[in-house]
Structure 1
Amino acid sequence: MTDVRAHIRQGVHGALHVRAWPHPAPRYLALLVHGYGEHAGRYDEVAGVLTGHGAAVYAPDHLGHGRSAGERAVIEDFEDVVTDLRAAADLARAEHTGLPLVMVGHSMGGLIAARYAQRYGSELSALVLSGPVIGAWELPRRLLALDEIPDVPVGPAALSRDPAVGAAYAADPLVWHGPMKRPTLVAFERGLAAVAEGGDLGDLPVLWLHGDDDRLVPIEGSRVGVERLGAGRATERVFPGARHEVFHETDRAKVFAEVTGFLDSVLV
């Protein structure tokens, strides 16, 4: 896609960079919430699907990520990132008043989106979670137990069976290619606890997408969190053989069809 606009808003800790994929006459708003170490620009194809479905799409680069302010890959409190996300939502609503708002959160973005829904659920018409970091995710605890965090970045092959996805990720200068940082790991533990204690989402429609070969965020750990949020009411779609990034997988056309079909069923 080439028709992408850039906005700068004041975030909790500095400049917040927000991408916008416009639509001439949208019927709803979609807010994309990216994962750890990456940035909103990696969601161009997802945004294209959603604009083709009738959405005006917005996506911030989180604190410490992409073009937004902050030390790279450092988040000390996910509540601040949720507040930044609401600034992006306010931007979308200011440009298109009166439209329903749906949120799509991937991985760490699933944690952020779930917490947003707990804090501001009345503002949302639907929530889509892709490989969400909620429930029982053991990586922060394991790494924090070490005296030194190993300098092991996310392996590109863990993202998708499509080798082009891994190659693009490895070559992307806006992606963080270093180790996880201790303050962020501590924040993950607090964020997981906040979502666990934050209550379910009532009648908010929730779609949960996951690859059954996701080794970064194993499916059974996420299931614990999704069940707490949706009390068994969430729509679940598991993709055989898919790795962590179902939106970038070899069968992503099926994933996109699930998303648009779900939105058609709830945006009436």
Structure 2
Amino acid sequence: MEPIVKGNPTVLSSSSSSSLILTSGASGRINALLSMRALKSLIMLVNAFVLLLLVPFRGRKRAQSMALSVAEKPRDEKQERKCATVRVPATIVSWKSSNSSSSSSSNNGNCSSPTPDAVDQEVAVRRALAIRRVVEDKDRCESSMREFLLFQSPRGNMIFTQSWTPVSLKIRGLVVLLHGLNEHSGRYSNFAKQLNANGYKVFGMDWIGHGGSDGLHAYVHSLDDAVSDLKSYLQKILADNPGLPCFLFGHSTGGAIVLKAMLDPSISSCISGVVLTSPAVGVQPSHPIYAVLAPIVSLLLPTLPVGSANKTTLPVSRDPDALVAKYSDPLVYTGAIRVRTGYEILKVSSFLQQNLSKICIPFLVLHGTADEVTDPTASLKLYNEASSTDKSIRLLEGLLHDLLFEPERESIMNDIIEWINCRV
């Protein structure tokens, strides 16, 4: 297998000797306290506290120390590989539906919670767009048949799902895709079609608050709900497609959801393998005090967006066209992370850190050493502590967070497909 990046990789794998490439990352009277000015000041203070807390993926200078622990490299070679980061063009702004007041208030950082009717309107707009994209793609694609299904969760929420089925090839396996925070399953359509070309039927689920699914955009009251929805969806897929091996793909927070679902033996026993890209396994608050404040603020102002938008602070790809496509997509949330959502990510990350040794499913994890959103050293910890006997990790030198939207995407997709092929 050709390496994805240049350099002198260190080979590391528990399933074979050559399947892994690891490379070198408040005073006054009562009326004063209750004044609007005081209230605004209080909200600003809370927002300032939460600002650093729930970015919550903090970029850290870890790639260098991680690289030194894996392999020694000449300094000039490292400089030679250093990639210029590309930030989102300033002309790209958050999408606001003219029919949805909730979308406008959320993207502008309004502290008030949107009304249920406003949320329903916003969901209707998102869902209509998600459905239209499936229908349009179905009409113009000859090698894959793309369809959608509204799946009812155990809580009664409508979850938007879609599938890609190869038209002329015999189906030899199933792949279920779970997207990352703030995005949606439709972004992985090209990857799904490549999987179709190799005989795999592909399913995608927009987890709660994302894409065409119910919920305020990018608000997740509990990631356990997303885990529960994934389990129910998997059970339906397996019942409808008996006898076929099933693999899971999870990106970023989607990868954390996948891993938590795999801690349920009744689910993991039905899965042949898991592929994770840039999983949110080791998310940490920027200061310990914020871990104390997080549950309080998430109760008081759960939907409050805090911090700077990801598009201006944390580069996720070195491909400018991929960035434009992502942040001009109406189904991608471009506002600041919501308090409760960030708190839930901290919780699931902490849970996984304490239970890594219980993971026994075959897996492949890929992570860019220059990722400033999630921590590649946490992926290395996952690899080291998991009980899986079939596990592989690839740390890709200089690559950023959205691996399937990096310039090297084709090679990465091919390596993922090859890993799955070897286990069918």
TM-score, normalized by length of structure 2?
Answer: 0.58
In the TM superposition, 1:65-104 aligns within 5 A as 65-104=210-249
Match of 1:108 in 2: 253
> 1:106 and 1:221 mapped to 2: Cα distance?
14
Q: Which residue of 1 aligns with 2:375?
A: 218
Question: Aligned equivalents of 2:386 and 2:256: distance in 1?
Answer: 11
> Which piece of structure 1 moves more, 16-25 or 138-147?
138-147
Q: Verify the 8 A CA contact 2:383 2:393 in the aligned structure 1.
A: no
Shift of 1:140: 7.5
Report the secondary structure of 1:65's partner residue. Answer: coil
CA distance 1:247–1:227, shift in 2 (3 Å): same
1:124 aligns with 2:266: no
Which whole-Å CA distance do the structure 2 matches of 1:155 and 1:223 have between them?
Answer: 26
Residue 193 (str. 1) matches residue 350 (str. 2): yes
Q: Secondary structure at the match of 1:158?
A: coil
The 3 A distance-change label for structure 1 pair 178 and 141 is farther
- Corresponding residue for residue 178 of structure 1: 335
Residues matched between the structures, number: 265
- Is 1:137 the equivalent of 2:283? yes
Alpha carbons 2:251, 2:277 under 8 Å: kept? yes
Q: Does 1:10 align with 2:155?
A: no
Give the greater-gyration-radius structure (CA): 2
The reply to whether residue 261 of structure 1 matches residue 261 of structure 2 is no
Residues 230/47 of structure 1: CA separation in 2 closer, same or farther (3 Å cut): farther
Q: Deviations over 1:136-193 (max 9, x none)?
A: 2125767665888634121277221111110011111011111111111221122113
What's the counterpart of residue 19 of structure 1? 162
- Per-residue CA deviation, residues 197-253 of structure 1 (Å, 9 max, x unaligned), is 344222x21101111211111211332234333468520112222110111110112
Segments of 5+ residues of structure 1 without an aligned counterpart are: none
Q: Contact 2:366 / 2:393 at 8 angstroms: preserved in 1?
A: yes
Q: 1:105 to 1:201 in 2, by over 3 A?
A: same
- Counterpart of 2:310 in structure 1 is 154
Q: Does structure 2 conserve the Cα–Cα contact (< 8 Å) formed by 1:21 and 1:47?
A: yes
CA distance, structure 1, for counterparts of residue 162 and residue 193 of structure 2: 13
Q: Tell me by how many angstroms 1:13 deviates.
A: 5.1
Asked if the contact 1:23/1:55 (under 8 Å) is kept, the reply is yes
> For residues 79 and 210 of structure 1, what CA distance do their matches in structure 2 show?
24
Instruction: Choose between structure 1 and 2 for higher RCO, CA contacts under 8 A separated by at least 6 residues.
Output: 2
Structure 1 range deviating more: 180-189 or 100-109: 180-189
Which residue type is aligned with residue 216 of structure 1?
V
Q: Is the 8 A contact 1:27 1:55 kept in 2?
A: yes
Aligned-pair identity (%): 25
| Contact 2:175–2:247 under 8 Å retained in 1 | yes
Partner of 1:159: helix, strand, or coil? coil
Output the TM-score relative to the length of structure 1: 0.90
Kindly report which structure 2 residues correspond to 1:199-238, keeping only aligned pairs within 5 A, or say none.
199-202=357-360, 204-230=361-387, 234-238=391-395
CA drift of 1:9 comes to: 0.8
Q: Shift of the alpha carbon at 1:114?
A: 0.6
Report what 2:70 is aligned to: none
For 1:196 and 1:51, locate their aligned partners in 2 and report how far apart those are by CA, in whole Å.
Answer: 34
> CA 1:229 to 1:53, structure 2 compared with 1: closer, same or farther past 3 Å?
same
| Distance in 2 separating the partners of 1:122 and 1:164 | 40
Q: Deviations over 1:19-77 (max 9, x none)?
A: 10013431111000100000001001111111111111001000000110012111122
* Superposition deviation, residue 92 in structure 1: 2.2
SS at match of 2:340: helix
Residue 118 of structure 1: SS of its match in structure 2?
A: coil
The equivalent of 2:128 in structure 1 is: none
Alignment partner for residue 252 of structure 1, among 405, 409, 414?
Answer: 409
Q: Equivalent residue of 1:37, what SS? A: coil
Retained in 2: the 8 A contact 1:29–1:55?
yes
Paired with 2:379 and 2:286, the residues of 1 have a C-alpha distance of 14
Distance 1:208 1:21 in 2: 24
Mark the CA change 1:19 to 1:189 in structure 2 (over 3 Å): closer, same or farther: same
2:215 alignment partner, SS class: coil
**Pair 1:50–1:230, CA change in 2 (3 A):** farther
What do the CA deviations read for 1:88-122 (whole angstroms, capped 9, x no partner)? 22332233221111000000011001111111211
